[in-house]
């Protein structure tokens, strides 16, 4: 479970450069999966062994500067409500602007840790100029130069120091958690109400452990789990529904605290950018994923249209296409239990442990028939495979020259694992280790 840190500030102060610098250090190592950094505005970072999620609010504002004035206030209000700490970035080149003062006015009332960061300070003269930012009334500030990283160490030391300790969740954590996510109005609430209203299987209502989301304990198919509803959260009056940032913030929390993400999408809108953001968010957090295409009853059907629709979604999901897609209509209560059954299967796939002997028996002959391509006349020999003891499927392939194994070959190995052991709906990680 990690804390959320939001970066706020007006356009062009260098938020994205700073954001990229912070997540690179980690993402380059952990997320060595091609195509994962599609969504540039959310990432994970860690410092001194403390992990946190980083959100660059700037990436969610479309439109010109004047539109931005109104939007930035909403963003800051949201960041204040949702994040555990806030980095407020300003630019030493332009000095204090009216917009900076607006943001500072909102941030002065906040009880959460706020870090005022003056960017583009790369020489002594600019360090002197930074003094004027005291006028924002936010106390001490940090000077950094995002472009070369100077000053970021001190800022991060102070940041992780100030992040609230994550209290371990009690025994209730033992129950699997299924988060229902998606963009506003896709039918998330109705889906949950249909499941719950219809059946009296509910054990208890647990007040939301993830801040505001509602957890419902649910028992079906002899399987008990918590259903996390991100849709039942009271709408903040200040926030307009369509704010992409809003649903992403909400989803980040729900996804990070879940085992399986049930992504509900509206068939009339398709697998659009925002749904894709949520999908990649779940994939990057290595969660189980089920996609529900809701309102299928409203779509004009041609021959094979479900197949065609599914093909389109899978094209957008590449390279991770081994995900169940269920067509439902919440309104007509069509296939909603099939959806839950599928989520349970995905959960079981994610918790699957494969015996080392079986793994080697199946995979070594395949590797022998299709060895990794030679690199600089050197041959890679894979000797032994084992599953790592993690909460999701990760496999270590021990070999003589791990650095020469290309991503395409790792994908080949992943596909073979999927073929033989059924990891439908679950991201699988393949690591090459030195024997």
SS3 58: helix
Q: Is 232 known as a binding-site position?
A: yes
Q: Is 233 known as a binding-site position?
A: yes
Q: Is 197 known as a binding-site position?
A: no
Q: Is 258 known as a binding-site position?
A: no
Q: Is 230 known as a binding-site position?
A: yes
Q: Is 126 known as a binding-site position?
A: no
Q: Is 254 known as a binding-site position?
A: no
Q: Is 120 known as a binding-site position?
A: yes
Q: Is 12 known as a binding-site position?
A: yes
Q: Is 362 known as a binding-site position?
A: no
Q: Is 190 known as a binding-site position?
A: no
Q: Is 416 known as a binding-site position?
A: no
Q: Which residues pair with 263 in a beta bridge?
A: 181, 291
Q: Is 125 known as a binding-site position?
A: no
Q: Is 204 known as a binding-site position?
A: no
Q: Is 410 known as a binding-site position?
A: no
Determine if residue 260 is left, alpha or beta; phi over 0 gives left, psi from -120 to 50 gives alpha, anything else beta.
beta
Q: Is 297 known as a binding-site position?
A: yes
Residue 258 DSSP symbol: -
Q: Is 10 known as a binding-site position?
A: yes
Residue 335 DSSP symbol: S
Distance CA 250, CA 44 (A): 16
Q: Answer for the pair 281, 39: CB distance below 8 angstroms, yes or no.
A: yes
Q: Which of 241, 225, 234, 353 is nearest to 290 (CA)?
A: 225
Residue 150 DSSP symbol: B
Q: Is 294 known as a binding-site position?
A: yes
Q: Is 59 known as a binding-site position?
A: yes
Q: Is 60 known as a binding-site position?
A: yes
Q: Is 184 known as a binding-site position?
A: yes
Q: Is 14 known as a binding-site position?
A: yes
Distance CA 280, CA 255 (A): 11
Q: Is 157 known as a binding-site position?
A: no
Q: Is 229 known as a binding-site position?
A: yes
Q: Answer for the pair 347, 368: CB distance below 8 angstroms, yes or no.
A: no
Q: Is 13 known as a binding-site position?
A: yes
Q: Is 56 known as a binding-site position?
A: yes
- Spell out a b/e string for 172-208, using b for 16 or more CB atoms within 10 Å of the CB, else e: eeebbbbbbbbbbebbbbbbbebbbeeeeeeeeeeeb
Q: Answer for the pair 256, 2: CB distance below 8 angstroms, yes or no.
A: yes
Q: Is 264 known as a binding-site position?
A: no
Distance CA 324, CA 310 (A): 10
Binding residues: 9-16, 56-60, 119-122, 182-189, 229-233, 294-297
Binding residues for GTP: 9-16, 56-60, 119-122, 182-189, 229-233, 294-297
């Amino acid at each position: 479970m990690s804390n959320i840190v939001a970066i706020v500030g007006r356009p062009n102060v260098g938020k994205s450069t700073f954001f990229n610098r912070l997540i690179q250090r980690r993402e380059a190592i952990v997320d060595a999966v091609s195509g994962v950094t599609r969504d540039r505005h959310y990432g994970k970072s860690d410092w001194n062994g403390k992990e946190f999620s980083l959100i660059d609010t700037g990436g969610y504002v479309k439109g010109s500067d004047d539109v931005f004035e109104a939007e930035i206030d909403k963003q800051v209000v949201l960041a204040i409500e949702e994040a555990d700490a806030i980095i407020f970035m300003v630019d030493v080149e332009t000095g204090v602007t009216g917009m900076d003062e607006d943001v500072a006015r909102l941030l002065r009332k906040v009880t959460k840790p706020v870090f005022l960061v003056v960017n583009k300070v790369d020489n002594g003269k600019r360090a002197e100029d930074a003094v004027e930012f005291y006028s924002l009334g936010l106390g001490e500030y940090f000077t950094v130069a995002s472009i070369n990283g100077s000053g970021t160490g001190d800022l991060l030391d102070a940041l992780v120091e100030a992040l609230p300790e994550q209290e371990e969740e009690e025994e209730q954590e033992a129950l699997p958690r299924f988060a229902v996510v998606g963009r506003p109005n896709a039918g998330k609430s109705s889906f949950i109400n249909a499941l719950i209203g219809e059946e009296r299987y509910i054990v208890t209502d647990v007040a939301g452990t993830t801040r505001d989301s509602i957890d419902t304990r649910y028992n079906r198919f002899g399987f008990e789990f918590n259903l996390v509803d991100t849709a039942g959260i009271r709408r903040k009056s200040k926030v307009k529904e369509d704010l992409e940032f809003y649903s992403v913030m909400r989803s980040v929390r729900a996804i990070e605290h879940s085992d399986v993400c049930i992504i509900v999408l509206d068939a009339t809108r398709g697998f659009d950018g925002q749904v894709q953001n949520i999908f990649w968010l779940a994939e990057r957090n290595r969660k189980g994923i089920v996609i529900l295409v809701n309102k299928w009853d409203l779509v004009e059907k041609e021959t094979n249209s479900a197949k065609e629709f599914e093909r389109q979604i899978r094209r957008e999901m590449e390279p991770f296409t081994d995900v169940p897609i269920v067509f439902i209509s919440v309104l007509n209560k069509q296939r909603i239990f099939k959806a839950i059954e599928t989520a349970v299967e995905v959960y079981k796939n994610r918790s699957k442990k494969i015996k080392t002997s079986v793994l080697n028996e199946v995979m070594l002959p395949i590797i022998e028939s299709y060895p990794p391509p030679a690199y600089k006349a050197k041959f890679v020999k894979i000797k032994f495979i084992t599953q790592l003891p993690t909460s999701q499927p990760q496999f270590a392939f021990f070999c003589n020259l791990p650095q020469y194994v290309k991503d395409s070959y790792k994908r080949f190995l992943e596909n073979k694992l999927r073929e033989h052991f059924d990891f439908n709906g679950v991201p699988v990680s393949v690591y090459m280790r030195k024997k």
